[in-house]
Amino acid sequence: MLKVGLLGAGRIGAVHAKAISSHSGSRLVAVSDVNSEAASKLAALYGAEARTNEAIIDDKSIHAVLIASSTSTHSDLIEAATKAGKAALCEKPVDLSLTRALACQKAVVPTGRPVMIGFNRRFDPNFAALKASLDKGEIGKSELLSVTSFDPAPPPISYVKVSGGLFRDMMIHDFDIACWIMGTTPDQVTAVGTSIVDPEIGKAGDVDTAVVTLHYSDGRIAVIKNSRRAAYGYDQRIEILGSAGLLAAANVLESTVSKATSAGVVSAKPEYFFLERYMRAYAAEWVAFVDAVTNKTSLPVTLADGVNALAIAEAAYRSAKSKSTVDLASVL
């Protein structure tokens, strides 16, 4: 039985608390949050205690922490937890600063503790089925990957301002998806971004619509499209063209019902946002983490994966600014 401390009791912390509690191999023993009331409330729901971060990290009976606090605390908490001998599952991104993330990665190595980054989409059953088919060679050798990733609506401007920008905050998921599907990191990054959804986002120095092309050393290409707004809901699709065919993972719809009238045939919309679409992925992510930690097997997503995605985001940022292709090596 893996005893777990949850650092962060916000919206995503609540999702993880449920996953931890529903798993027969793990138990939620403590919850912390800067808002101690939120911690108490969430802890109470699952028969856990509300504590401080420090109290959780210092508790030797706790085997693992799930870090779901604000991004600026991630690196510090990863370092503290692993130093204290704990395994950690940390929400993305590792840090907004690539330099800080690299330092964190360096600090963790000597502890030998497993650190997994919460790229939950790898555990979406549809994406996992696509990846499995690709790896079995069912469409031959991969050549061109396309990722469509649109949020239903832009976040508040206050969030945009501290988010690190679209590439580090939103597209980072897709950079990881690309690394995972293609089985490696790209050599070069070419980014084009614009603010067209909401001029306030542009004024805040960020983009809300972007296309990033990744170029791999063996000639393969990946292209990622992001928009902060899709009026019809969360648009999360992957397509990969291979030498013998194409694999596509379509959206998950709210129902299978269609309505045909004189106005056309209306089907359901995609599930609204990540809490709907990726609920099963969060559960599967936790199962995979518990499996790896318990059985001392390799983690399905590593801290290095978190650093790589952040490095691509950094390169994308520089490419969009310089209007030229950026070598990934140049940012590391």
Contacts to a second copy from residues 215-244, by CB under 8 A:
215, 218-221, 223, 225, 227, 229-233, 235, 241-244
Question: Looking at 55, 103, 192, 304, which residue binds a second copy (CB under 8 A)?
Answer: 192
Q: How far is the CB of 162 from a second copy (least distance, A)?
A: 24
Burial letters 287-314, b for 16+ CB under 10 A, else e: bbbbebbeeeeebbbebbbbbbbbbbbb
**Nearer Cβ to a second copy, position 142 or 308?**
142
Q: For helices 125-135 and 279-295, what crossing angle results, to 10°? A: 60
Question: Looking at 104, 195, 301, 316, which residue binds a second copy (CB under 8 A)?
Answer: 195
Question: Looking at 76, 143, 187, 291, which residue binds a second copy (CB under 8 A)?
Answer: 143
3-state secondary structure of 147: strand
**Nearer Cβ to a second copy, position 96 or 212?**
212
Tokens coding 63: 């085997």
Residues 261 to 280: which contact a second copy by CB under 8 A?
A: 261-270
Q: Are 60 and 29 in contact (CB under 8 A)?
A: no
Q: Are 145 and 212 in contact (CB under 8 A)?
A: no
**Nearer Cβ to a second copy, position 241 or 292?**
241
**Nearer Cβ to a second copy, position 73 or 272?**
272
Q: How far is the CB of 246 from a second copy (least distance, A)?
A: 4
Q: How far is the CB of 67 from a second copy (least distance, A)?
A: 27
Is the peptide bond prior to 93 cis by the omega test (within 30 degrees of 0)? Answer: yes
Question: Looking at 66, 77, 116, 247, which residue binds a second copy (CB under 8 A)?
Answer: 247
**Of 38, 22, 41, nearest to 280 (Cα)?**
22
**Nearer Cβ to a second copy, position 70 or 322?**
322
Q: How far is the CB of 51 from a second copy (least distance, A)?
A: 24
Does residue 252 belong to the site contacting a second copy (CB under 8 A)? yes
Does residue 61 belong to the site contacting a second copy (CB under 8 A)? no
> In this structure, how many other beta carbons lie within 10 angstroms of the beta carbon of residue 226?
22
Question: Looking at 55, 204, 211, 275, which residue binds a second copy (CB under 8 A)?
Answer: 211
Give me the DSSP letters along 199-253.
HHHHHTT--SEEEEEEE-TTS-EEEEEEES--TTS-EEEEEEEETTEEEEEPPPB
Burial letters 94-117, b for 16+ CB under 10 A, else e: bbbbbebbbebbeebeebebbbbb
**Nearer Cβ to a second copy, position 9 or 320?**
320
Residues 98 to 127: which contact a second copy by CB under 8 A?
A: 125-126
Q: Are 332 and 318 in contact (CB under 8 A)?
A: no
Contacting range for a second copy; rule: CB under 8 A; set: 35-43, 70-78, 207-215, 297-305: 207-215
The 65-104 site mask, x for binding a second copy (CB under 8 A), equals: ----------------------------------------
How far apart, in whole angstroms, are the C-alpha atoms of residue 199 and residue 41? 38
DSSP-derived letter for residue 123 is G
